[in-house]
Chains A and B, each alone.
Chain A
């Protein structure tokens, strides 16, 4: 089954199968040594840059800022949720996420 993934409204939304599912302005705990030196990045999600899928996991690259150290930039690929049985389930907001450099297997760029 094909999953339609899009970045919409100037990076405000990740749309999954034509439904706006993941929004900016959240705080994510991130293991992202490429972004800042904090043990865990406390990232304000400001703008989605791109979205992709790896297996059933939807991943994004996002512009944001670590509110602990102030470092700002674009992350590697960060999971935001899974598609199972045609339904998208967002990761818990409290989850610690890992940012990784390599792109998802199916990359769906859209800005």
Chain B
């Protein structure tokens, strides 16, 4: 028996939702019939609108999908203006204020407190500037990710940006691929650093060389080889069921990527589980079938040309989020292939106030081309800065806060939305990770040669902060402290991508949130004292068993105080002075 969600989707889904969305916006939030709200809220996701949690009735999160995180000149200003004008609600965040934009781990942008009546005006402004919320959420092709500096990166094997653009144009608004069993996350990477994080996506295209003359030919020089992509399928982190994408032994030249991607998307559409949403992601289909059957079915039923076997990849060069080596992230000044520079700026937990967004947009236009790009570590990259403008740009006051050379604890922080707005989360996240990072920066010394230390805080097992691929993974939990329920975190260690990706091992469970900074301090102290010379944290973790690591974590109270120990989910907004559900605001009046 198919689910209610599938029934709703079979009635109205995809592009056609838009007309009804606009009708509701025109008539007002209350015009959505009570007995249709569940259905319409589910459908609105396809257009990037997610109804916020209870206590925030009538307000929406809006996600803008920016393929590969690319914001062309002028687009960041549009985002800042929309955030400033529309992303304001009854709750004020004590750290970030009243209007802000969140840069996500999938190179998208999220705005909060959006009112339904404002959606048509926002869509009009976005679309005037070639931005869109289409398929940013819902069961279809999501925002395509990759190395954000595709086409500019000095370390590039192949320029993936034209491929991503073509995929975006082909599969956004495409009725044949609009209604999939579940979300469909695609990564296309052309650089040798692994910054597209293909391993944790439903479908990954990774750079690879194919020797001319066929599979049996000896490996030639790179100069004589064709450059394209190897294909992996079925990665993902959610629901305590993390999977690395599986190699299906296919190499594809750039011009064939849409055929293979469309074939696999159609395979998922036709064979994914529509009766159980927990079992619907393609990772479970790959579990059931195995990579060989996926390849065989793709070949026999979904493409009309002979698939080539996998080529020679460059995975041994991957460093992004790998826990060691150069370029664990894209922060700092880096060479572009055209001689100019891209400058990665740290945005702590990915959240930037609207005023700062607007100022950054102006700086990008003044010192670069106006273009800005977003990374999967929730950071922002200003591209096209010439050498002679670099020093002046780096001296801008805004970069004191959004630094190209931040503390490892600020630089390594990633956090999801958390209970501030999200229904699924068990704990407060973004503000907490800011507090953690500030305390760690002030109180904890890493060894001199360690300049990156990734701490990812996810509010639940949905894993939006990608906790399993961090040095220190934190995941929302509950525990009792002195008999009272308090917010807590499970602690995992040693995850990372790279040539041999691995997920964090969850070594310590249910640490009360006020003892987490002390636990990390103890852990770092043991690492500093007992590491081998030059040893990375990830390697240090790898050579210890879980019991040893659990002992290293050693939670303790410190002078860190956590103001959000209580059940933040029982508030209408955790930071409100009167935060009880009985004080929740009414749905916004339509105007």
The number of residue pairs between A and B whose CB atoms lie closer than 8 Å in the complex comes to 77
B415 on the interface (CB 8 Å rule)?
no
A12 CA / B39 CA spacing, docked (Å):
15
CB contacts under 8 Å to B, within A12-41, are 12-13, 15, 17-20, 23-27
- Is B426 part of the contact surface with A, judged by Cβ < 8 Å? yes
* A15→B38 contact, CB < 8 A: yes
Complex formed: what's the CA distance from A17 to B54 in Å?
15
C-alpha gap A47/B425 in the complex (Å): 10
Contact for B1 among A6, A12, A109, CB less than 8 A:
A109
CA distance A15 to B3 in the complex (A): 14
Cβ < 8 Å to B, chain A residues 45-101 = 46-47, 49, 65, 67, 70, 72
Q: Is the CB of A11 within 8 A of B35?
A: no
Name, among A17, A18, A42, the residue most crowded by chain B CB atoms within 10 Å (CB to CB): A18
The answer on a CB contact under 8 Å between B423 and A27 is no
Question: How many chain A residues have a CB neighbour from B under 8 Å?
Answer: 30
> What are the interface flags for B51-93 relative to A under an 8 Å C-beta threshold, 1 for contact and 0 otherwise?
0011000000000000000000000000000000000000000
Shortest beta-carbon distance from A41 to chain B in Å: 13
Contacts of B1 in A (CB 8 A): 109
Cβ-defined partner of A18 (8 Å) among B34, B278, B479, B488? B34
B129 within 8 A of A: no
B543: interface (CB < 8 Å) = no
| In the assembled complex, B224 has its CB within 8 A of some CB on chain A | no
B516 within 8 A of A: no
CA of A6 to CA of B424, assembled, Å: 15
State whether A110 touches B38 (Cβ < 8 A): no
Distance between Cα atoms of A23 and B569 in the complex (Å): 9
Query: Would A24 and B277 count as touching, CB distance under 8 A?
Result: no
Cα(A13)–Cα(B419), bound, Å: 14
Asked if A10 contacts B424 (CB within 8 A), the reply is yes
Overall SS of chain B's interface: mixed
Q: Which residues, 436 to 479 on B, are CB-close (under 8 Å) to A?
A: 460-462, 476-479
Which residues of chain B are near A72, meaning CB under 8 Å? 240
B239 touches A47 (CB 8 A): yes
Question: Which of B53, B425, B480, B488 has a CB less than 8 Å from the CB of A42?
Answer: B480
**In the complex, chain B residues whose CB is within 8 Å of the CB of A9:** 423-424
Q: Are B38 and A18 in contact (CB under 8 A)?
A: yes
For the complex, what is the distance from the CA of A16 to the CA of B107, rounded to whole Å? 35
- The docked-state distance in angstroms from the alpha carbon of A18 to that of B37 is 7
In the complex, are the beta carbons of B426 and A25 less than 8 A apart? Answer: yes
Q: Does chain A have a CB within 8 A of B510?
A: yes
Return the chain B residue nearest A10 by Cβ.
Answer: B424
For B424, what are the chain A residues with a Cβ–Cβ distance below 8 Å?
9-12, 24, 47
Give the contacting residue for A47; candidates B38, B276, B461, B509; CB below 8 A. Answer: B461
20 A-B residue contacts at CB 8 Å? A6-B4, A8-B38, A10-B277, A15-B38, A17-B35, A20-B423, A23-B54, A23-B569, A24-B426, A26-B569, A42-B480, A44-B477, A44-B478, A47-B461, A67-B479, A67-B488, A72-B240, A110-B5, A111-B3, A111-B276
Taking Cβ atoms with an 8 Å cutoff, the residues of B that contact A are 1, 3-5, 34-38, 42, 53-54, 239-240, 276-278, 419, 423-427, 460-462, 476-480, 485, 488, 509-510, 567, 569
| A contacts, CB < 8 Å to B | 4, 6, 8-13, 15, 17-20, 23-27, 42, 44, 46-47, 49, 65, 67, 70, 72, 109-111
Nearest 5 A/B pairs, CB to CB: A12-B423, A111-B277, A25-B426, A12-B424, A44-B478
